[in-house]
Structure 1
Amino acid sequence: MSQRGFTLIELMVTLVVLAVLIGLAAPNFSQMLRENQAAAELEAFSGMLGYARREAVQGAQTVRLKGPLAADGSWQLLRERDSLELRRFPALTSYVAGPAGLQDILFDSQGRLISAARMAFTLALKDTSLGCTTFNRSVSIELSGSISLQKASCQ
């Protein structure tokens, strides 16, 4: 007489193997999700800087990107001549921007960086959840207005 189906032992072995595979995959999956979130936020931050520069050029005006604001951590794009808010960007959730305190980034009507020190501006983005990791980035804005992201060291 032939039997059809699985025995209890076969089902238990299958469940144990499945549990081991899930246990091995879960940390890698959460790491992948964290990396994707960090990459998306870096892209959004870079896009915010690019938007501010384009707004300055298209409007033939000087604009000021101000942030992170103390109230909610958001970033504010202002027209320099009358402090009119052109746009507000959401706070960074995965990163802390440094140096600490309020940052003002100004672009002139030709998209160039206005810097009192007449040198490029570097902004450090430190990962908030994992500390010193591969997610830390340095954002450089050259006097010409070009924006670049580089991996930053742990400091």
Structure 2
Amino acid sequence: MNRGFTLVELMITLAIMAIIAAFAAPSFTRLIEDNRVTTQANDLLSSLSLARSEAVKRGVTVTVTPNAGGFAAGWCVHTGANCAAGTLRVHEGFTQVAMGGNDIANAIAFDSFGVRVNQAAADFDIEFTPPSCLSGDTRQRQLTVRRTGHAAITLQGCP
């Protein structure tokens, strides 16, 4: 009675497993990129929600100010005139996600009612795009803050 595997059988099994893993690897890369984009969009959404709730709680204007280079370089949530005065949260920049949109370098402030202040545009929009986003893919996230202060993230097609 023969029990066990021969070395040849083991090598063939390992070769088949390597081929299957090679086919699965690209989908893992895409999954990791999508999760990274979602996480980073949620980080900014969390800071905006903090600013809005603190503005209502404290009864003062709270601002989310991007670092030099826009939100991709990081930001801080603060009361007062700048980040040095009354810092509530500081966030470092993003490394592997492209950010874009008209408001990438604009600060956003909320008044004591939780409404955006000093904003001429109807909506405050920032887009988060993964590195391998091909035209037609629905992988881009757009963070939108309405004039009322309501913020949401939506999926969009890649440019």
Aligned to 1:109: 112
CA distance in structure 1 between the aligned counterparts of 2:12 and 2:142, rounded to whole angstroms = 49
Paired positions, count: 152
Aligned to 1:14: 13
Q: Is the 8 A contact 2:63 2:79 kept in 1?
A: yes
Decide which structure has the larger Cα Rg and report it: 1
Aligned to 1:99: 102
Aligned to 1:75: 75
Map 1:19-30 → 2, pairs under 5 A: 19-30=18-29
Query: What amino acid is aligned across from residue 147 of structure 1 in structure 2?
Result: A
Counterpart of 1:73 in 2: which secondary structure?
strand
Which has the bigger relative contact order, CA under 8 A and spacing at least 6? 2
Map 1:40-79 → 2, pairs under 5 A: 40-70=39-69, 73-79=73-79
Aligned to 2:32: 33
What TM-score does the superposition give when structure 1 sets the normalisation length?
0.81
Higher mean C-alpha displacement, 102-111 vs 33-42 = 33-42
Aligned to 2:126: 124
CA distance in structure 2 between the aligned counterparts of 1:131 and 1:21, rounded to whole angstroms = 24
Aligned to 1:141: 145
Compute the RMSD of aligned alpha carbons.
2.5
Stretches of structure 2 lacking an aligned partner (at least 5 in a row): none
CA distance in structure 2 between the aligned counterparts of 1:128 and 1:45, rounded to whole angstroms = 16
Q: Is the 8 A contact 1:76 1:85 kept in 2?
A: no
CA-to-aligned-CA distance 1:11-58 (integer Å, 9 cap, x gap)? 222122111121122222222222222211121111111011111111
What TM-score does the superposition give when structure 2 sets the normalisation length?
0.80
Q: Percent identity?
A: 26
| Structure 2 CA distance for partners of 1:20 and 1:60, relative to 1, 3 Å | same
